[in-house]
Chains A and B, each alone.
Chain A
Amino acid sequence: QVQLVQSGPEVKKPGASVKVSCKASGYSFTAYYLYWVRQAPGQGLEWMGWINPNNAATVYAQKFQGRVTMTSDTSVSTADMEFNRLRSDDTAVYYCARLVATEVATPHFDYWGQGTLVTVSS
């Protein structure tokens, strides 16, 4: 079965960097884009960017450009999201999500990781 398993919670100080991992299993890793979506406490969902594991192409949401880097390693079916210059308002749960295309509609997210809580606090 398809699974996206993320790395564990992190506590970071303002200005630090964090790397969150997302290990995929149960499907062909290079066949699907992976998105990163975050959710601040009590808030909604916010997309950060995506990576195409087939060629490592990335697109980042304008809000995060310059601070985020998404990479993938096909040898271990893992995607990473590194986020730099963390601020207190970056405290959130970070999700990876698989994007699936269908014949009847625009793509949607069919599998999500369990989420990784990143806490930024001095």
Chain B
Amino acid sequence: SYDLTQPLSVSVALGQTATITCGGDNIRSKNVHWYQQKAGQAPVVVMYGNTNRPSGIPERLSGSHSANTATLTISRAQAGDEADYYCQVWDSTTEVVFGAGTKLTVL
């Protein structure tokens, strides 16, 4: 099975830039989706297909990926960005793989 590795936590100062990584073997060959989950709420997609923002997601959020790492970047971090962030890929046509999640704290 395919494994995704995320840092347990990331901290960022208010107004600064946060980077949340998602590691996987040759992840560049896959499409990575990112979900934001605020406390007590259902996940919300904030990035799909590596770099595509759904409508309503601010331009402050961007995605990228290299050979073995996908990255979600949050610029000008706000208190409202505090949440857990999960990356997700497909291991095969039917197998969903989620990363373990990263807790973003805005200081």
Interface of A is mostly: strand
Complex Cα distance, B31 from A35, in Å, reads 19
With contacts A108-B49, A109-B43 known, what are 7 further pairs, Cβ within 8 A? Answer: A44-B100, A95-B42, A97-B43, A102-B49, A102-B52, A106-B49, A112-B43
A binding-site residues for B, Cβ under 8 Å: 35, 37, 44-47, 50, 59, 61, 95, 97, 102, 104-110, 112-115
Choice from A46, A59, A106 contacting B31 with Cβ under 8 Å: A106
Using known A-B contacts A44-B86, A59-B94, A105-B52, determine if residue A114 contacts B42 with beta carbons closer than 8 Å.
yes
| Size bracket, chain B contacts | 20 to 34
- Tell me, rounded to whole Å, the shortest Cβ–Cβ distance linking B1 to chain A: 10
Q: Mark B67-107, 1 if CB is under 8 A from A, else 0.
A: 00000000000000000001011100011101111000000
